Structure 1
Amino acid sequence: MDPEIIVALIAFGGSALGTLTGITINSKLTNYRLEQLESEVRMHNNFARRMPVVEEQIKVINHRISDLESQEKEK
């Protein structure tokens, strides 16, 4: 077998191995980033679910403060 063919096959093998390694590492990094993003979205969704409850509690608190202020004015 000619040395040029051997060198070409070795170069092809190295290129293929490097490419596959790069694809694998990039895929793992993409999966990691997606997991982090999903985690942040879950936290945001939890916050979005809790906000109406907090807003309702604030309305109740404001109403109670208004009642207390009106009682204080009557005295």
Structure 2
Amino acid sequence: MAAYAIEIIIAVISMLGTASGAYFANKKSTVLVAYRLEQLEKKQDVHNQVIDRVYELEKSVALNSEDIKVANHRIEDLEKK
């Protein structure tokens, strides 16, 4: 009976060691994934800001082009008079 008790104690200690090792490894992996995700979110925010600025620039260029066309037509009209 005592031999079985020692084997059971050794098995329980082994199980606890394995479980704690797996827990801490998983926890470290989860922290690393969270960190990487945070870094990707920061990069995505920067990218989105660039896209927004480019969109605003394109609108501004289109408006400026239209203003130039109107000004050129006015100049042509004045030159014809």
Alignment of 1:1-75 (within 5 A): 2-70=2-70, 71=72
> Between Structure 1 and Structure 2, whose CA radius of gyration is higher?
2
Is there any run of 5+ residues in structure 1 with no aligned partner, and where? Answer: none
In the alignment, residue 59 of structure 2 is paired with which amino acid? K
The RMSD of aligned alpha carbons is 2.3
Segment drifting more, 52-61 vs 20-29: 52-61
Is there any run of 5+ residues in structure 2 with no aligned partner, and where? Answer: 77-81
Percentage identity across paired residues of the two chains: 18
In the alignment, residue 56 of structure 1 is paired with which amino acid? E
Segment drifting more, 47-56 vs 10-19: 47-56
Please report how far the alpha carbon of residue 69 of structure 1 lies from its aligned counterpart in structure 2 after TM superposition.
4.0
Q: 2:69 and 2:29 mapped to 1: Cα distance?
A: 58
Segment drifting more, 22-31 vs 63-72: 63-72
TM-score by length of 2: 0.73
